[in-house]
Amino acid sequence: MVDKKAIEKKLAELFDIVPETEGLIASDLEGKVIVGQTITEMDHSAIAKTCVAIIKFSSTVGDNIGKGAFKTATIDLKSGYAVIVKSDAIILIALAGLDGKASLSLLKRNLISISKI
């Protein structure tokens, strides 16, 4: 069982730790949003479901090349970044603008830690 309050608290703390963060979303493995906060209006559900698809396709690639299932991904986009972390119970997604490039490792490390709650 996922502890929603604990995840929500840790994600709020992550916003303070990495001020370049533009959004943080936690979902179950099917893409149902548990908690999400973004600095602008975004469709958290659509983002989570798209990340589920990315995870599935990435895991297929991993299986086909003998490297195993998806763990994490950092995606470079035209105007920013998305960091995805999957655990056995949840998916965590961080969004950052171009100014967040130097903080991507910090975001990823914190998301991995939060995913173990």
The CATH number linked to 83 is 3.30.450.30
Q: Tokens for 49?
A: 């479901």
DSSP string, 58-83: HHHHHHHTT--S--EEEEEETTEEEE
CA distance 112 to 91: 10
Q: Tokens for 81?
A: 């970044």
Q: Is the pLDDT of residue 117 over 90?
A: no
16-72 tens-digit pLDDT: 999 999 999 999 999 999 999 999 999 999 999 999 999 999 999 999 999 999 999
Q: Which domain holds residue 12?
A: 4-115
Tell me how crowded residue 45 is: count the other CB atoms within 10 A of its CB.
14
Burial class (CB in 10 A: 0-12, 13-18, 19+), 38: middle
Predicted TM-score (pTM) of the model is 0.95
Q: Is the pLDDT of residue 1 over 70?
A: no
SS3 38: strand
- What total of structural domains would you count in the chain? 1
> 2 falls in which pLDDT band (50, 70, 90)?
confident
CA distance 31 to 43: 12
Side chain identity, residue 42 = M
79-99 tens-digit pLDDT: 999 999 999 999 999 999 999
